[in-house]
Chain A
Amino acid sequence: MTEERIETAKPTRMELLGIRRRLSLAEKGHKLLEDKRDALVEKFFESIKRRDELKKEIDELFGRAFEALTEAQMVIGVEKVKAAAGLIEGVSELSMYTENIMGVRVPKITFEKLELKAKPLYSLSDTCAKLDDAFMFFSKLLPKLLELAEIDGAVQSLAGEIEKTKRRVNVLENVLIPKLKATRKYIEMQLEEREREDFFRRKRIKAIMERREYGYRG
């Protein structure tokens, strides 16, 4: 890889000091971002694990709920089940807010009184026990689904933030820091070269002067 340096940097001592400062800042930032990335990834894996568990539970519960629902439909008819379902009062409204964890917006859902409000409102004489079962299963399902929603939201914003942080770490690691290092090296070498030239020039001048002095005398 050819090392690129910052073209606008002039080989002066002032510039060298500036570059050194920038380099130490970039390295500090790089370390911080790396730590942030690691922390985010850790949290990410935690969320994914919980999500996998939840998904399995939901799949199973869904299967059982649909079994009960189908049975209810067989006993009292599709239309009646539909009508009964229409009578269910919705759960209380959710209150949602976002929490800020390390610059990541994580949604939180609070669903108090979820169970209380979801009471069967259909008539008992018109329906069957299977419908009650289905109702129970689906009511149990809803909190789990909401939890899944919460985790999905968190995973989504975490993934975005991880990608962003990764990109920043990579830019620092592969572009900015090598560039600064190359520039520092370039300036240092230029300065040394100039010093050597200067040193040589002074020697020459001294020699010439000495020769002249002796020449006049001699």
Chain B
Amino acid sequence: MKIAAICDEDTAVGLKLAGVHEVYVPEDNIRELFNEVTMRDDVGVLFVTENIADYISREIKEYLLQQKDFPIVVEIPGKEKGKPEHMDHISLLIKRAVGVDIERKAL
């Protein structure tokens, strides 16, 4: 299966260097792009940079609710450092499942 990424231009160059198969740099069609890529079944892993993930957080939440096996959506830090209080969706999920925010406590 393929690796795909949706990210900003600089991160795109970096991920290309790493050998990621398909790198998309969205302009203003982030939602359509995200939905399109997650619908495909030849993509195994989809990387999304934090900034973009914040922008389409609703779509990501909906996608996670579908409990599909593939592709796995992973949030990665982009070139611009995200806000320190940024919570990715898996952390939110952890918080909900356990009841407390253990990630912060452990740090």
Contacts and interface: CB of A to CB of B under 8 A. Distances in A.
A43 B19 CA distance: 32
A134 B14 contact: yes
Contacts of A48: 94, 102-103, 106
Interface string A87-108: 0111101111010000001010
Nearest to B95: A159
A160 B67 contact: yes
Interface string B59-88: 000001001011011101101000000000
B15 interface: yes
A142 B19 contact: yes
A170 to B, nearest CB: 13
Given A66-B79, A91-B3, A155-B93, A85 B45 contact: no
Contacts of A131: 17
Contacts of A49: 106
Contact of A94 (B3, B97, B103): B3
A152 interface: yes
Interface residues of A, number: 56
Contact of A138 (B14, B64, B106, B107): B14
A138 B1 contact: no
Nearest to A61: B77
Interface in B9-63: 10, 13-21, 44-45, 47
Interface residues on B, range: 35 or more
B77 A62 contact: yes
B19 A139 contact: yes
B17 to A, nearest CB: 4
A148 interface: yes
Given A52-B106, A62-B76, A134-B14, A159 B45 contact: no
A176 interface: no
Contacts of B98: 41, 44, 162
A145 B76 contact: yes
A115 to B, nearest CB: 9
B69 A105 contact: yes
Nearest to A66: B79
Interface of B: 1-3, 10, 13-21, 44-45, 47, 64, 67, 69-70, 72-74, 76-77, 79, 90, 93-94, 96-98, 102-103, 106-107
Given A94-B1, A152-B73, 4 more contacts: A88-B17, A90-B3, A90-B19, A155-B94
